[in-house]
Amino acid sequence: MLRILIALTFVSCTTTRETPNLVGQDVRLTFLHTSDIHSRLFPYNLEPSRADEDFGLLPQNAPFGGMAQMATIVKEQRATANRSLWLDSGDCFQGAPIFNMFKGEAEMRALSLMGMDGAVIGNHEFDLGAPNLMRQIDNWSQFPLLAANYEFSPTSNPAGERTMADVAKPYAIYDLKGLKVAVIGMANWSSMTGIFEGGNSLGIRPRDDAEVVQEYVRLLRPVVDVVVLVSHLGLDEDEGLSSAEVEDVNEALPLEGVDVILGGHLHIVLNPPKVIPNDDKGNSTVLAHSGAFAKFVGRLDVVVRVGEDNSDPDKRSRVTAFDFNVFPVDSTIQPDPEVTNLLWPYSIAINREIDLQGVFAYVDLEEGEKITRNDNSGGDSQLGNMVARAMQVRSGIEAEFTITNSLGIRADFERGPLNIEQMFNVFPFENSITIIYLSGSEVQETLDFVSRKSAERGCRTQAQVSGIWFDMVCGGDCPNGEPACAKNISLGEDCRGGDSSGPIDPSKCAPLDPDGLYRVAVNDYIANGGSGFEVLKRNTSKQNTNISLRDALIDYLRTQTPCERSVIDASDSEGQSVFENYGDVSCLDQSIETHDGRIRAVFE
């Protein structure tokens, strides 16, 4: 009841002005949409995916992203719209050095200056804890942060400091020249293990998403013309899939009375948007996604036929048409000078501390080749093997074997110089190495889970390993009638004798002992149960080393064989050698930690 009273108070404060009578008119409303910016406040280099290119993000227009460039697009698009809202679907924090250094201050200041109207709270906003998020919102945000499906625990504050309960609201209402729009924030909790740990370190109780949507639509539908969900719902394990493959949990919500969903967390562009029927009267919900990492700004134009009584389902306002476009954020966009000036001191500070352009290795491949995070076989990949090996052999770790989730590796190694900035593309988040002691039966259970999870993704492995080998059976004779399982698990090196599709050679490697105890390196995300690794979550032997996967991989790659002085730098138009341009750096080719069948996809 208190929540409803607060909500009604907020409505009354924002809708008391005298407004024009729009009943019976067709009114155009423009939503500008961003999501999962992940601290990409400055332009950066990456190799666009095929999907990126399909939506206009072209390699020749690098670098990509940047708040100053995004601000220009937003201003230009708003100048052509009579009624507009800029909404963001969360995760503006984490993914670049500026967040590591300034803890979200720069993100909140930039987005406020750029005129953002509202955002849902993403799971990465909590990466430095709820108190840090609260401070950044309270100190710098000039737009509402929304989360209808969170209940924040009451806390004792002797100093009288404000808490998340004071700064986060379930929804906001906007009066756009007489057109009233309610925006409900649907935050993520499936990826936030801290919600479910003992003591609930985030001080959040998640509420049932379906119940929340129904509750707030019942409350708001009678007093507004348009109801929008700005959503960060979804599952991390869906990241990296195409929009056709992804499982979008927004579609399963009770959507009667909801006109638009602006989605995030899945890192996809959904164009054209999905149209989801939501009642028996012919009404539908428009679902759109606008990508991630500041690569695109989405624009959704809708036509609203304004009704005479929004409390009557037969007479309420409704969306009758829509159009959606995405605009690439790239070097062809002139940066906004105000945002550039705001961010300039942050840029100076970062470059004083970190040499982002410093080359530490060179990817020595033929044109068109790359070191990939996914292998065509569905099993282990070269980059995944490098990451797992770097974790296993890191000084102070020295694990018997490594298991890390494939999702944690977000980009391939492209041909040419490899610098620190590119490593933030590979590891945008601050995952660290955790040491854990697992029994042989726990290892079996973990790899069985990996196999089941991978079978759901076309038998594409959802883990990368080092020091351990197994057959990932995606269909066959598995115990207890399970659809997938791990077989022939063995420890050692070169267990298939150089034949990635061959059987395990028992003379080379030792079979897993169900009663044995093993020292294993994993990342902190899956150690805490992320992506469904429940076996690791319940283990009590975990020791987080706070050594980042990014740093471990950089140090490992630096130990590889230096380039021969005759190797030409493919990125240099003048034909200089790698040594002349970067000094004595490592050369990486397809022979290092190559795909060797440590995970072999099998259909029995």
Q: Is residue 286 part of a domain?
A: yes
- Helix axes of 67-79 and 105-114: crossing angle, nearest 10 degrees: 20
Condensed to tens digits (0 to 9), the pLDDT of residues 550-604 reads: 999 999 999 999 999 999 999 999 999 999 999 999 999 999 999 999 999 999 7
The mean per-residue pLDDT over the stretch 105-118 comes to 98
pLDDT in tens, 414-424: 999 999 999 99
Determine the pLDDT at residue 205: 86
**Distance in angstroms (rounded) separating the CA atoms of residues 97 and 395:** 24
Residue 14 lies in a domain: no
Are 336 and 371 within one domain? Answer: no
For residues 125 and 223, state if they share a domain.
yes
Structural domain tally of the chain? 2
User: Same domain for 94 and 222?
Assistant: yes
In a domain, 476, yes or no: yes
Same domain, 569 and 456: yes
Q: What is the pLDDT of residues 411-447, one digit of tens each?
A: 999 999 999 999 999 999 899 999 999 999 999 999 9
Instruction: Check residue 530 and give its pLDDT.
Output: 86
Q: What is the pTM of this model?
A: 0.88
Residue 40 lies in a domain: yes
Q: Is residue 9 part of a domain?
A: no
In this predicted structure, what is the pLDDT of residue 568?
Answer: 95
Of 292, 325, 348, the position where a domain reaches its end is 348
**What CATH number corresponds to the domain at position 581?**
3.90.780.10
Which of 17-26, 51-60, 155-164 bottoms out in mean pLDDT, i.e. has the lowest?
A: 155-164
Residues 385 and 422 occupy one common structural domain: yes
Distance, in Å, from the CA atom of 274 to the CA atom of 270, rounded to the nearest integer, reads: 8
> Is the pLDDT reported for residue 179 higher than 60?
yes
Residues 132 and 254 placed together within one structural domain of the fold: yes
Record the tokens describing residue 180, joined without a space. Answer: 């009233």
1 in any annotated domain: no
Say yes or no: 280 and 379 in one domain.
no
| Coil/strand/helix, residue 427 | coil
Are residues 454 and 588 both part of a single domain? yes
Alpha helical stretches, state H, 30-127: 50-54, 67-79, 97-102, 105-114
Domain shared by 142 and 208, yes or no: yes
> Does residue 307 lie within any of the structural domains?
yes
Identify the domain containing residue 262 by its residue range. Answer: 25-348
Residues 264 and 393 grouped into a single domain = no
Three-state secondary structure call for residue 276: strand
Same domain? For 318 and 386 the reply is no
367: β partners: none
Among 348, 382, 415, give the residue marking a domain's end: 348
Same-domain status, 264 and 392: no
**CATH code: domain of residue 340:** 3.60.21.10
Residue 441 lies in a domain: yes
Averaged pLDDT for residues 180-208: 75
d(Cα 475, Cα 459) in Å, to the nearest integer? 9
* Residue that terminates a domain, selected from 296, 330, 348: 348
